[in-house]
């Protein structure tokens, strides 16, 4: 979403017309984000505040991908020690997980590290302790920083994991989120689609386009976020289509249907 339909808290002026065009053409869409800091409910509220009405089936986050991974790989695990925002933790609790306290006696079955914008030193240290005790260790996304339109560097999940790795010598056992193709698996299953029927639209080569190719989907790069044409020239990840913005993508879709 960030860099594609909005930047930080600013919606691109062409986003709502683009979504209206998709509806007119009968093309379904799902908002996909690596950012696990908000629950589905809170993301839908954010979209509504920007003037975009969407339902739960039109949103998929790295938190949801992480929950599905845990359900498949650690089906009996229900107690987790997690670094994440209150909103993210609410999403886990909604799916039956118990969030462990910062207490050596409150032993988790899995450690989950996310984009924790409410991170405390004590919980960071406790997470490192449980990682050091060889608990299964999962990261929600591989982003080092989160895009922002503010004069700040938003330290993201991978940077928090780097701190834990430096302290313990251990990398996460699994990293969810783009470019892991599992991020598209939930969407494909939800709508009964094949990868060839899906276009992944995003502003990053190494996450959005890389994931599209890994999953067998069509990769569309927009130039409203991180990647530039110079980046494309230097990268081994070549998009199937490059457009200045989703405005031009709508025009290309109309041409393709004539």
> Residue 182: which CATH number?
3.40.50.1000
User: Quick one: 148 and 208 in the same domain?
Assistant: no
User: Quick one: 157 and 216 in the same domain?
Assistant: no
Looking at the domain assignment, is residue 3 inside a domain?
Answer: no
User: Quick one: 185 and 171 in the same domain?
Assistant: no
In Å, what is the CA distance from 183 to each residue of 39, 66, 69, 150, 163? 16, 9, 10, 28, 25
Q: Which two tokens stand for residue 127?
A: 């997470």
User: Quick one: 150 and 193 in the same domain?
Assistant: no
Residue 149 is predicted with a pLDDT of: 73
- Left if phi > 0, otherwise alpha if psi is -120 to 50, otherwise beta: which for 195? alpha
Residue 212, C-beta contacts closer than 8 angstroms, at least 6 positions apart: 184, 199, 200, 218, 219, 220, 240
Looking at the domain assignment, is residue 81 inside a domain?
Answer: yes
CB atoms within 10 A of CB 38: 22
**Lowest mean pLDDT: which of 14-23, 39-48, 126-135, 140-149?**
140-149
pTM given for the model: 0.90
C-alpha span between 182 and 58 (Å, rounded): 17
Mean pLDDT of 42-62: 95
Looking at the domain assignment, is residue 155 inside a domain?
Answer: yes
Q: Is the pLDDT of residue 138 over 90?
A: yes
What confidence tens digit (pLDDT) does each residue in 160-199 have?
Answer: 999 999 999 999 999 999 999 989 988 999 999 999 999 9
User: Quick one: 237 and 208 in the same domain?
Assistant: yes
Report the number of distinct structural domains present in the chain. Answer: 2
Q: What is the mean pLDDT of the chain?
A: 95
User: Quick one: 212 and 160 in the same domain?
Assistant: no
Beta-ladder partners of 39: none
* Range of the structural domain that residue 194 is part of: 178-257
């Amino acid at each position: 979403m960030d860099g594609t339909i909005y930047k930080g808290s600013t919606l691109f002026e062409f986003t709502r017309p683009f979504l209206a065009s998709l509806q007119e053409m009968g093309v379904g869409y799902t908002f996909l984000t690596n950012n696990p800091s908000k629950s589905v409910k809170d993301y839908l509220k954010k979209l509504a505040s920007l003037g975009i009405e969407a339902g739960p089936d039109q949103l998929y986050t790295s938190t949801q991908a992480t929950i599905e991974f845990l359900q498949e790989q650690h089906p009996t695990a229900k107690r987790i020690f997690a670094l994440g925002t209150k909103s993210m933790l609410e999403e886990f609790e909604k799916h039956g997980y118990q969030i462990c306290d910062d207490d050596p006696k409150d032993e988790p079955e899995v450690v989950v590290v996310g984009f924790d914008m409410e991170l405390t030193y004590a919980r960071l240290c406790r997470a490192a302790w449980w990682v050091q005790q060889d608990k299964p260790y999962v990261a929600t996304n591989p982003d080092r920083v989160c895009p922002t339109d503010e004069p700040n560097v938003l330290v993201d999940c991978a940077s928090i994991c780097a701190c834990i790795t430096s302290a313990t010598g251990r990398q996460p056992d699994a990293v969810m989120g783009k470019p892991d193709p599992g991020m598209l698996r939930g969407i494909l299953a939800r709508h009964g689609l094949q990868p060839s029927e899906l276009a992944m639209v995003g502003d990053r080569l190494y996450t959005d386009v890389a994931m599209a190719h890994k999953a067998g989907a069509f990769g569309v790069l927009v130039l409203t976020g991180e990647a530039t044409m110079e980046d494309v020239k230097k990268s081994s990840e070549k998009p199937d289509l490059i457009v200045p913005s989703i405005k031009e993508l709508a025009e290309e879709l109309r041409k393709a249907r004539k």
